[in-house]
Each structure stands twice: as structure tokens, then as C-alpha cells.
Amino acid sequence: MSQINIKQLDAQSPEFDQQLKELLHTDLVVDHQVTTIVDDIIHRIKSEGDQALIALTGKLDRWTPDSVEALEITKQSQQEALARISTAEREALEKAAERVKSYHQHQLQDSWQYTEADGTVLGQKVTPLDRVGVYVPGGKASYPSSVLMNVMPAKVAGVEEVIMVVPTPDGDINDLVLAAAAISGVDRVFAIGGAQAVAALAYGTDLVPKVDKIVGPGNVFVASAKRAVFGQVAIDMIAGPSEILVICDGQTDPDWIAMDLFSQAEHDEMAQAILVSPDQAFLDAVKASIEKLLPTLSREKIVKISMESRGALIKCSDLDQAMDIANVIAAEHLELSVENPEQWLPKIRHAGAIFMGRYAAEALGDYCAGPNHVLPTSGTARFSSPLGVYDFQKRSSIIHCSADGASELGKVASVLARGEDLEAHARSAEYRIKK
């Protein structure tokens, strides 16, 4: 048993809106010292290329490769790592990869076109990006599941070349991460990290090929470098702390709900775990489960800080109000741990991933349900989507005017272009009008 001082809010209180706002608030401060260091690293990679990569790896990752080529982790090394992990681990990775692939294939978009009565053809051509870089953190936060979730959608999209970068601090290689790279079909892997790896991917060096988009999580230096190269290449979202919002009708085992909340809270001290229920007795039961289970966790300390500083148990009037709260929070992960969750789904407008029913634990989605675990955080589900195949495809408009079609369109364009004082536009259109 452990006493926990977790916020308990009542959604019917007049102060609730303000309390919720404060609960959700995160201060995203840009650290100018970080920006300066990162700008300097990017400049070094642009001007010195691979030599800077070697020097920075020596300084920041504390190992120095014998040659530039030694910065690359060969296919053979990946296969050796795959051979070293346990059979259970290998089978779990393969099963997860297969399910992630299968789900993401549903996201593939095709080119389309249609022909108008006068023979004009309009359409949209969909093509994959040529080359993508995937950043994988080293050390403690090095997750093989992230390799799968970032690489598989690119491969399903048809990206020809996926380049992975992963720092190997002190020369230590994570076998599970390399095994995941082999299983998910990464084309090349480099043992580099930090802002220097991001810069190498964005600008290219003799060794590292320049990519079109960089995805994957990283520390503050990696995030800052991604921001700096944004525009030069595309980047994925810059993730905030992980969040879970559980809505429960009071009929799920309180131990399950407590552990579901912990599964986000254990990520880091800034993670956010919130439970909303109309059943006060159930909220009390979950609080008791939290206090009972907390001391049994290996990450007890992180979970306690996270639950006490950013967690909350919210009493709502009914499930309708719970859905309204869910739309305000726009959570990264939303569990609808209720009877007949389909009934409530139409009311949910904003959420990264929606886990329906008592069995769909958020952790299943993190690893192997199939959908991506890279999800919009900090309320950005209001306007962002999970990482998907669509992030690795882009579209070109197709306009094929028939002579008749161009003649009719030319008349409209001429009027509008002259209204905008763009004479050459107008005359270019007018050339196509039939005399």
C-alpha cells in the first residue's frame, strides 16, 4: 500500500473548465542553449561531412570508428543480432511486424482520374517518397517497437530506400533494435545519433545519403535539429509527453484500469494518465487499486511523480459528459472501457487512437494490434493523425485539357486573371480559346 496524492475533479463543478485547462497545460519552452549547440552541429556536418560525424560520435557517444565505413551497421550485423535474440522475442517481433504491415496496407492510396464530357481528364497521381530516414534513440529509450512503427508504413508506401540511424553510446548495440530493423526491411543502418545524425540525413554526407523525410522520436537535441532542418526535408510531428484518457462505466476490473493508467505514466514524469467515470465508487476503487499496485511496479518512482503531478480522477455526470471531456482533451490514447463502445464512437471527434471495450488495453496498440503507435500528443489530435502510409506518399494533380475543354476554361480563366491584374495569365489562357 502506498498513499497517492492524485487530483480528484468533479466535472459538474463550476471551476471544472479552468481546472481541466490547468491540468492539460504544458509549457513548451525553447531552450536557446540547445538551439545554439544544434545549429553549430548542423553547420559542422554541412561543412565537414563524414569527418564531423566521426568527431561528434567520438565526443558525444564516446566511441570512435576506425573508418568512415565503420559508421555503417551491415546487413550481416543485423542478421547476427536477429540470431542472438530469443526465439520468443523473434516470434513476437515477426508477429507484430506482420500485423502492423497488414493494417497499414489498408491505408494505401491509389492514383485516380476522371474524364469530363468534353474529354478533359482530371486526376491525382500518388507516388511514394524516394528515400526516408528513421531516427531511433539509443540507450534506455531504444525501442524495437518504434523501429517497426516508423519503418513499416514507409515500406508499405513503397519507399525505395529506408535509412535508419541509431546511436550506439559507448559502442553498445541493442540487439532487439537491430533485429527489428532486419525484420522490418530497413535498407541501411548507421550507428550515429543526435543532431549530427539528423543533419547528415537532411543534407547528406559522402557516407549517409540525403533523405526526403525524417521520422522518429528523439531527445531535445534531436527534436531541435528536426525543427531546424524542416523545410529542407519533411519531418514528422515533434512528440510531447505520452497521454492516456480512460473513460469507464464502472464495470471494468479496477486493477486493469489502474495498470492501464500506469502503462502511460511509466513512460516519464511528464506523462499524463486521466480516468473519467460517472461512478464515484468505481473511482474510489481504482484509487485503491493504484495504491495497492504502485509499490509492485519496477518504475514506481516515475509513475508516482507522473500520477501525482499530471494525473487525475474525474467524476462526470454521465457518459455523454465524458465524451465531451474527451473532445476537449483530444487525447493521444483514448480507452472507451464501457459496455457497447460503438454506441459512443460517433460522439468522439478528436483522439489519436481509440481503444474500444474492456479488452483493448492501450499496451496492445503500442506493440502489435496493427495501428501505429506514433500518435498526436498534447491535444494535437484536433488537427493531426497517427503516423501512416499517407505520410510517405505524396500527390501530384493531373490536368489534361481537351481542345474544347481548354477553350471553355480559357474564357473563365481570362476573366478571373484580368480581375487579378495578371495579364500574362489571361493571355496564356486566351491563346487556348477557339476563334
Binding region for Zn(2+):
264, 267, 366, 425
Q: Is 25 helix (H, G, I), strand (E, B) or coil?
A: coil
Which of 332, 335, 350, 362 is an active site residue? 332
Map the footprint of a second copy across residues 63-122, applying CB under 8 A: 88-89, 91-93, 95-96, 103, 106-107, 112, 114, 120-122
Within residues 200-219, the interface with a second copy by CB under 8 A covers 212-213
DSSP 169: G
DSSP 230: B
Q: Is 220 in the site for a second copy (CB under 8 A)?
A: no
What's the CA gap between 303 and 243, in Å, rounded?
13
Name the nearest CA neighbour of 303 among 273, 272, 262, 339.
Answer: 262
User: Is 333 noted as a catalytic residue in this protein?
Assistant: yes
In total, the chain counts a number of residues equal to 435
Binding site residues for substrate, as ranges? 242, 264, 267, 333, 366, 420, 425
Phi, psi angle pair for 355, to nearest 5°: -100, 115
Q: Measured on CA atoms in the order 194, 198, 204, 210, is the torsion positive or negative? A: positive
- Give 70 or 122: the residue with its C-beta nearer to a second copy: 122
Q: How many residues of this chain bind a second copy (CB under 8 A)?
A: 117
Instruction: Looking at residues 376 to 435 of the shown chain, list those that interact with a second copy (rule: CB under 8 A).
Output: 376, 380-386, 388, 390, 394-403, 405-406, 409-413, 415-417, 419-429, 431-432
User: Binders of a second copy among 253-312, rule CB under 8 A?
Assistant: 253, 255-256, 259-260, 262-263, 265-267, 297-299, 303
Q: Report 183-202 residues binding a second copy (CB under 8 A).
A: none
Exactly one of 145, 168, 224, 289 binds a second copy (CB under 8 A); which one?
145
DSSP 3-state of 391: helix
Least distance CB 124 / a second copy (angstroms): 7
Task: Assess whether 332 carries a catalytic annotation.
Answer: yes
- DSSP letter for 233, please: B
Q: How far is the CB of 340 from a second copy (least distance, A)?
A: 11
CA–CA separation, 213 vs 408, rounded Å? 40
Span near a second copy by CB under 8 A; candidates 10-18, 186-194, 218-226, 341-349: 341-349
Choices 11-19, 47-55, 70-78, 365-373 (CB under 8 A): range interacting with a second copy? 365-373
User: Out of 333, 335, 350, 373, which one is annotated catalytic?
Assistant: 333
Number of CB atoms found within 10 A of residue 416's CB: 12
- Helix (H) or strand (E) run with residue 78 in it: helix 75-84
In the bound complex, what is the minimum distance in angstroms from residue 50's beta carbon to a second copy? 21
> Annotated binding residues, as ranges?
135, 196, 219, 242, 264, 267, 333, 366, 420, 425
Instruction: Kindly tell me which of 279 and 430 has the beta carbon lying closer to a second copy.
Output: 430
Segment interacting with a second copy (CB under 8 A) among 7-15, 53-61, 189-197, 251-259: 251-259
Task: Give the residue ranges of the annotated binding site for NAD(+).
Answer: 135, 196, 219
Which C-beta is closer to a second copy: that of 138 or that of 386? 386
Residue written as grid cell 553547420: 43
Long-range contacts of 381-384 (CB under 8 A, 24+ apart): 381/330, 381/331, 381/332, 381/350, 381/351, 381/352, 382/330, 382/350, 384/237, 384/352
Contact 275, 259 (CB under 8 A): no
Give the Cα separation of 409 and 116 in Å (integer).
12
Residues with active-site annotation: 332-333
